[in-house]
Structure formats: C-alpha cells, structure tokens
A and B are shown apart, each in its own frame.
Chain A
Amino acid sequence: MRLFAVGLSHRTAPVELRECVDFARGGVEAALSALATLAIASEVVVLSTCNRAEVYAVGESDATAGALLRFFSEYHQVPAERIAEHLYVRRGQDAARHLFTVAAGLDSLVVGEPQILGQVKAAYAAANDLHATGALTNRLFHSAFGVGKRVRSETGLGEGAVSVSYAAIALAKKIFGSLAGLQVLILGAGEMAKLTGVHLRAQKVSQITIASRTLSTAEHLAQHLDGRAVAWTELDTALRAADIVISATGASEPVLTRIRVAEAMRPRRGRPLFIIDIALPRDAEAAVGGIDQVFLYNLDDLRAIVEENLARRTAELERAEAIVQEEASRFATWMQSREIIPTVVALRQRFEAIRRAELSRLEPKLSGLPPEARARLDEITHLIVEKLLLAPTEQLKSVSDESMVVAYADALNRLFSLAEEKPAAKDRPPKSEVPS
C-alpha cells in the first residue's frame, strides 16, 4: 500500500490550464465517484481550490500514479501531452509532506493565507461522506489538520493583511471594531473608487454614499454598489455623517483641506473619521492627519503596511517549515511501521499453513481419536503457533526505522521462505503502463 499525491497548482500550471482542470466545477463528488468506478486506488481524496487540483490516493503500486495521471487528462478531457509537464507526482512520505505544506498555507499563492485549511477539511469531508477514505488517508488528513492548526497558533504566518484593500479594512476594524453599521463616503466615481466600494460592501457597511463632480457618474456607481449618490455641493454634509471616507477623485488640488475636515469634525463629538486617500495626486492635505480623531492613510502608507506584513511572514516561514518537517517525519514513522504488516501477515500465514499441513499429514494416525480429543489437538496446536508468534509480531510492529523494516522483512522472507507463499505488494514487477 502506497500513498500518492498527483496534481497541479499555481506553481506548476498557468491559470488557463488550472481552469480546465477544476474538479470543483463538476463537483468533487463526481470526481470521487469517477475514481471509484475506475478502481484505481483503495483510498482517495480530491482537493480542489482556485489554485490547485490534487488527488491523494492509496494504491498497490506505482501503476496507481500512472493511472491517476491518465485520470487527470481523461476526466477533464485535456490532451495528455498538454497537461503532463504541469502535473507532479509525490510518493509515500513526500506526498504526506506535500499535503502538510499545503495545509499549513506554505504552498499557497499568498503564503500563510488561512482559507486553505478549511478547503483541505472540506475535501476530506467530501471523500469521507462517499466512503472513499481509509486508514491511511484518515490518519494523513487528521495529521494535516493538526499541522495547519499548529502553524496558525504557533507562528505568526497568517497574521497581517497582505493586500492594500485588506490592510485598509483591517485598519478600519481596528478603529471601529466592526464595520457593520458604518457610513462610507466615496469621493470620485472612477475604477479605484468602484473596486474599494465593492470591497467595503462585502463588509456589510450600513450605507455607501458616492459624491462625484458629475452627478450622473456618481449615480451610475451608486446603482452598481447599491448606494446613494449626492451632489458635489453636498460634500460637507456627507462628510459630517461619514465614518470612513475613500477619496479617489482626479482633482489636481486637494479636495479634503484641513479647514474643511476640521469643520466636519466639529459636530461629530469625537467620533473617529478614517480617511483613505487613494487618489494621485493626493486628495487630502497632509495636515488633515493632524486633526484629533482623524486617521489619514494614503496609498503609500497602506503599501508600507503590506510590505511590512509580507516581511514578517517571510520571517515566520522558517518556523512553519520546521513544524511541517517535524509532523511529516512523525507521519513517515507511522507509515513505515505499517509497511511491515504484509510481512507479519505472511509470517502468520506460513505458520498456520505448516500447522494445517502437519495435522493433515497425521490424519491417518489421528482418525482413531474421539472428536473431542481431535478438537483439543487442533486448539493446542493453534495456541502453540499463537504463542510462538506473539513476541515477534509485537517486535515487528514497533520497528519504525525504514532500513530496519526492509532488513527485518528481508530476513524473515529468507528464514521462513515467505516470498514463495505470498509475494509482497511492493515486490510485484511494475506494470508496463507506467508513463514516462
């Protein structure tokens, strides 16, 4: 039994290809059923996000990897030659380490982003619901959840906004607590104003007011954002009511002068005002930031915050990678201890076969015995076999070092001629269908 991870991600494939190889489009369940029908693997989990499409599977041999590679091209109807160079295959403990890296957010486009752990959990839950998981994948994914959780709680990898709009929203939250119920005023109706408005609307602000020099463009944007347009002459009234101001006009002179903002602050009774000036040239005079309870941030300030956060994340990367490494080797130890199991089974079968052979060889001599005595004989021989095997079985199961596992398996195979009885899975010759 071997673990495989086959897939592609933003690291290996361009977005056009990722769009074609999106399991989520047709439903992950459909992909899981298709895999079940093909009977490629005994356990399987399909992970599909905007940035990656991966299948984690447990199969008998390396042929499983080949079959999975073919599945990617056939299921999505993408020519094999187009997809082949973008797909990666990870085997055994490398596959486990890969999943742990993904779950920790280390393989994400934005390193440390927190959504991925939820997506990994959803992928496992979907497979579990369809009974596609098994002992190995259960353990693998639960370990991965643990890795994600540890990285999140023990490192600062997921902290700090790493895009300008999220930095602005994080700041607003640090000032106002929740953004729900806040009044937002957008100055200008250009593309930047629109983008920021969409972001803020997603935060469930109470109302978005748009003021632009031409009322018709303001009204147009207001419709798009489900907001309210006001004439430019009503700017001062709107400013008094606002909690957050996004300023993105194309004006060449500052719109938010110190006098204007100070005047607007007067009736506000100390209620804070957060001004985000994303216009170039600036809409707000620098002196506006000096007014009590006014927080003024421009695009450069926000960019500086983002850069600082990115730098901090890079510093945390090492600690996160150490956690992944630690958990991966723990998992590898567990997996290797499982690899001895076929040998243990073969050993037991060998002993049992000898016992049965001896009993049937002695059959003519034993036929004279009463049935109870024969049953007793069967029981005693069985017990002897069990007792002989008890200590070796326990010893073998506790072996965790990979080279020791191989050495023990090899020694037992030779000493008891096990290979003749039952060929171990990994000793089978690889099938010819393994792709290059």
Chain B
Amino acid sequence: MNKISRRDFLKVAGFASTLTWLWGCAPGAVSTAVNFPTSTPPTSDDQFLFNALRRIGFGPMPGEMETAQKVGFEAFVEEQLAFESMDDSQLESHLAHLTTLNMDVQELATLEKPGQPVLELVQATLLRAAYSRRQLYERMVQFWSNHFNIYILKNQDRYLKTGDDRDVIRPNALGTFHGLLSASMHSPAMLVYLDNASSTKDGPNENYARELMELHTLGVDGGYTQADIVEVARALTGWSVTGRRSGDGAGAFIFKQNFHDENEKHILGVDFPARQGIEDGEQLAALLAEHPSTAEFIASKLVRHFVADAPPASLVAKVSEVFQTSRGDIREVLRTIFFSNEFRQSLGGGKLKKPVEFALSVVRTLGIKTQFDRPTTTMIRAMGELPFFWPAPNGYPDVGAAWLNSNDLLARWNFALTVGTNSMKDAIVDFSPFSGLPTDAIVDGLSLQLLGMILPDESRVRLIEVTHAISDIEPEAAICALLLASPYFQYR
C-alpha cells in the first residue's frame, strides 16, 4: 500500500511549518524540517513524546513536537515548570482587545455592559490555553480554577472573578499550596461566592467553612467534624468584602474587627487563643495547608488529573509525601508525577479529554486562529463545560465516566464536524497545502498531525473508502472532521 510519497511529504511538511510561522508559537521550529509526517509510523519514543505533550499541555501546535524532540522529555518538562523564563510575548496580541482583564474592581463593577467581564475572562482563559507556550502553567491555572471553583454568574462574582483569576490563581498556580490557599481565603470573589462576606460573630455562616475543608483542603473524609466546621466559621467571621452593602460595587478584602468572634477556638485538635483577630484565619490557612489529609487529597486530585481517573495508590502516596516534605511546593509535586513510572505507563489513553480540553486540542493541533467568539464558545458550552460556569463549589468532574454520554459525544462530534469541515467562521483551517494530494497521503499526514500516529490498517482503509464516497466535501475536510470525531482524538 502506498502511503506518503516524498513529494507529498514535502507538501505536508510545508503545511505544518506554514502554520508554525503564522503563529510564531515555537521559535526555532520555523526553519526546522518537520520530521514526523513520514512514510513510516512514528517510533515509540515519538509516540511517547506526543502523548506526553497532549497530557501535560493542551495538544501540540504544529512545530512544537519537533522542538520537544530536539530537547527531549525531561528538558521539556523543566522548561514548562520554569515557565517565567519562557518568552510568551506573542500571546499579548491575542489578548490586547480584552480590556477588562486589567481593570480594577471599581471599573469592572460600573461597566456599561455588565456581562463584559464574564465573556472576556472566558475568552482570555481559552486564548491563553490555546496560544501560550506556557502550556503546563495554563493547564495548572485551569486546574486550580476548578479546584477553587467560583461560579461566575453568582451575584458580584460577575466582576469579582476577574480579580480572583488575575491576583489569586495565576500568581500562585505553580507556587506553594499554602500561598495559593491563603490568597484564595482572602479573595473577595470566594468570600462572596461561599457567603463568608456576610458571616458575623452573631451568625457565623458555615458555607465557606465547610467547603474550605471538604473541597479545598482536607477532603470529605479528611477527619473533621461538624464542630470543626462551626469553629472554622467562627475563626473566619469578619473576613469580608468592602462596600458590599453600599451598592457601589466595591469589592476589596477587608477584615471587619467588629464582626469577628474574639473568643478562643479549637480546630482539628489545635487551640486558637482568644483575641487573635485576623490571625485566626492566617493560623487556619497554615494548619489546613500543612495537614496530612490535605497532602493526600491534593495529591490524589493531581494524580487523577495527570495520570488516571482511578489514581494509582502507589503514586498518590509518593506525591503526598513530596507535598509534605516540600511544604506544598507545586513544582516539586508535579515533577514527581511527570517523572514517575505510573505517568509514563499511563500515556496513550485512559484520560478522556474534558470538553474544553477537546476544543483546545482541536484548535491547537490544527493551528487554527480563533478569537473564541460566541459561535465557538456556544459550541463548547453545548458539550457541557465552559470555564467558571459550573455552579457548585466542587468544580467540573475530572473523570471520563462523568462526560461519556450521548449529549457530550454528539456535541463533540458536532464541534469536530463543524470546525473540521471549515463551517465555522471564527475558526478557519487552512487546508490549502493538502489540496490535490492523494487521499491516502491526506489521511496519513493528518493522522500524524492530530494523533501522532498512523491509523491502524482497517480504520485507515475504511476512512479512505468513505472519503472517496463523499464527493461533495473536500477530501481533506472530510478526513479532518472524521479524525477529530474519532475515538483516538478523544483522549489525552
């Protein structure tokens, strides 16, 4: 069977590097020969690397695979962990029009279009994930946003979430867990979302106290009691937001001394002396961040995210230990995961892409230019996920079983079939380098680009046959759509 001839190969290679150039995503890759669309299947090393890239990031942009091949897996991980050193200036042009990202809360609260901060924050999240070179960093931003979930349509969170994203999640996403937790506890958006802003010594509100332990730190089986919840609620009385009742949209953190319960507290077996004021909350942050249950809970969530829906206990134990010895150093924890045998062995399947991950991988592996305007985000939302739109504090589920249903599958296919056949105005695929190529060459070239592999024979032959039978769709569009809809593309 003929696969790709040399002439075809050059055309395919040209397709990929054209996109690289357009996007400037992988400096250094532009002049490098694209070497994975070859007439032989990729080696197992290439396959490992491709799978690792789509597990750690949101799917390799054209050209990124070649860059990673040059430095190797370990250096790739280290570069991603040291994200501050990566030049990401090209990203700014994608975000320049999103003016609300840098506004202070007064400006945000008084905008003429109240929905503007919501739409722009969703767009910014998708654009950053799609076009930043700091792929691991953006993935961790999404992970923590989901862990410390805030429903963006709840009351003032419409405009407060912008600050939470900018000042709480993003600066701490690869820092320490204690730093991240403490920032979240001071976050006006969180204090409003879980009702702590109105909690006073005369009526302590249990909502935030409970979720802080159940969802953010210890986990539901982490060893706290209803009495602990009441004590935590008392410790956090007075942790509030400015001007909430004045209606002027103010929204900065404030500790209201006169709302704070100054009596002593007893939390998780630890005494909190009387008259500590705001220190109660700071002591609580440290207690929770360093609690062994927190280490295990965060370790299991991270391993679930990066390794398997059923996290291997061996790795969770190891990661939990590193979490404790490194005092919650998120980079150390991630390093432990990525360089583990469990991670390596889990690649090539197992983790179903969540809808946003799926959409981002379509955009990235095809090198599509999109602004994530309404038609695109509407289609993503139809799959059931959009950043910040999960109403409950537990965040979107991170296991495939939750997503594997008829609504999600059909919506995925429709995203694939719409974008893949170039039927979306906001997301144009440039297929021109493929025009005129034989069908089998298109199938192999696109398989390598989208899946990092040549299709198994039976699927490959069937795809070629069907493409021939569909005469009124351009073969490259017909093939591309079907590959995106295929099971191979549903995993990361």
A binds B: no
Using CB atoms and an 8 Å cutoff, list the residues of chain A in contact with chain B.
none
